Chains A and B, each alone.
Chain A
Amino acid sequence: MTRILALVWPTLRSGRDAPPGSGAVDVPAMLDRLDDLSPRVEAVDRGVALVDVTGLGPALGDTGDERRIAARAVALVREVAPLPVRAGTGENRWLAVLAARLALAARPDPATPAAFGAIPAGPAARRTLAVLSLDLLPADPATRGRFALFGLTTMGELAALPRSAVGAQFGAEGERLQALARGEDPRPLAPRRRPERLTRRVGFEPPMEGIGGTALLLRRCCAELCDTLRARHLAPGRATLTCELEDAPPLVTALAFPEPALEPDWIARLLLGRLEAAARSRRLHDPSDGDEEPRVAAIGLALDRLSNPAARQLGAFNVQAGRWEELRWSVERLTTRFGPGRLWRATTERPRAVLPERRARLTGLGHDATGEEEP
């Protein structure tokens, strides 16, 4: 017997943001926490997650029932974001989500989630559904109107009709809705694959003066992680550098590679260049920081989007897009290597202009694009 736990976050579904002061909601981190409960977790949509909790009762002790399993799941996700959540369990994904929607806000036990509902398994599920309104079915307004024309108001009335008759009157969509009204949902749970992420963090005691001073350690972190991945025939597609400052919010910069890269020198140099640019930009927008170099308490490096570079297959229809990405990547590397003000992009503006200096426009690449132009 399969049991599915559905977690529904109403504020995420309605598009409202997290409570003030809590920052952006890290949904992937919430799902990662659910992985600690069950290996089968599916992110259905923003604000809905399904967890396969079949057989988890004994794992949580002799008294482990579904209410306690749901409480455990809610406690896990609330460690990441303390959002209001509804939980429900059912025999399949439809029943689980429906149970969560119908969950009452009563809290008979502090250990239970704020709102929990359960639809029992077997024939009892059909009896539970029978009294529910048809408005709860995921039907379009036209189908709802036709149900009303036929005098159907509850799921029990729709479920009791012969399937062939429903198919004749309402088509395949009607048959699907009737199956839901009977508590049947053949859609299996599609567990998400937890993305692997290699991280390394280095702390400084006392804090280091200036971001540039971390270059050597960052280079070493990159080399260590790249060596680990090379031994597994993997390469990262993205690198993220977090710089924890002593008396300011952390600086975070991410670098997505056009193709998997295992070049620690370049990864470190490009990340550091971007981080320094972000630090300069912050000083520019917040002059209260003054001209003092930031004091770095720790740096954290994360490599993810891992793939096997040898097995990389180019798309048949986006070759040009891939080339532009590779060109952008090459240009960025050249800019870093030769410094600002040495690399220029020429854009043809008036190819038939009489004066040659008006035929093309030169734009500097890098940070300080001033100086003499060259074609």
Chain B
Amino acid sequence: MTRLYQHHPLVQVETDASGTPVRLRLDGVTHAEVGICNAWRIDDDWWREPVARSYFKLVTRDGLLCTVFWDEIRGTWHLERIFD
């Protein structure tokens, strides 16, 4: 069971020089040691309302597994999904 957020709340993410997340702050808790499980890009709807996102599936030391993305058009990080 996963929790999918339709409205994608904002999250604070620190990245390294290459743009890969290294630290995540969620619900007031900072998760410092972040491992990248997977990463992919989505470019869609370029003909009406363009969507350009860089997705990262992250796992933290305390067991949080989630999906966040970098909205390249707005320049913001968002939380998309939390896995149980």
Which residues of A are at the interface with B, using a C-beta cutoff of 8 A? Answer: 354-357, 362, 372-375
Contact = CB atoms under 8 A, between A and B. Distances in A.
B42 A375 contact: no
Contacts of B8: 357
B3 A374 contact: yes
Contact of B51 (A355, A373, A374): A355
A375 B3 contact: yes
A372 B44 contact: no
A355 B42 contact: yes
A373 B8 CA distance: 11
Contacts of A372: 5-7
Given A355-B42, A356-B81, 16 more contacts: A354-B42, A354-B44, A355-B51, A357-B4, A357-B6, A357-B8, A362-B6, A372-B5, A373-B5, A373-B6, A373-B7, A374-B3, A374-B4, A375-B1, A375-B3, A375-B4
Contacts of A362: 6
Contacts of A373: 4-7
25 contacts: A354-B42, A354-B44, A355-B42, A355-B44, A355-B51, A356-B4, A356-B80, A356-B81, A357-B4, A357-B6, A357-B8, A362-B6, A372-B5, A372-B6, A372-B7, A373-B4, A373-B5, A373-B6, A373-B7, A374-B3, A374-B4, A375-B1, A375-B2, A375-B3, A375-B4
Nearest to A373: B6
Interface string B27-53: 000000000000000101000000100
Nearest to B44: A354
Contact count band on B: 10 to 19
Contacts, number: 25
Contacts of B4: 356-357, 373-375
A362 to B, nearest CB: 7
Interface of B: 1-8, 42, 44, 51, 80-81
A234 B14 CA distance: 67
Contacts of A354: 42, 44
A374 B5 CA distance: 7
Nearest to B53: A355
A34 B42 CA distance: 74
Contacts of A355: 42, 44, 51
Contacts of B42: 354-355
B8 to A, nearest CB: 8
Contacts of A375: 1-4
A153 B1 CA distance: 81
A212 to B, nearest CB: 33
A141 B72 CA distance: 78
A374 to B, nearest CB: 6
A355 B51 CA distance: 9
A356 B44 CA distance: 12
A372 B6 CA distance: 8
A357 B7 CA distance: 9
Nearest to B1: A375
Contacts of B81: 356
A36 to B, nearest CB: 61
A372 B8 CA distance: 10
Contacts of B80: 356
A355 B6 CA distance: 10
Nearest to B8: A357
A362 B6 CA distance: 9
Nearest to A374: B3
Nearest to A375: B4
B47 to A, nearest CB: 14
A374 B2 CA distance: 9
- 8 nearest CB pairs, A to B: A373-B6, A375-B4, A354-B44, A357-B6, A354-B42, A374-B3, A356-B4, A355-B44
Contacts of B1: 375
A373 B7 CA distance: 8
Contacts of B2: 375
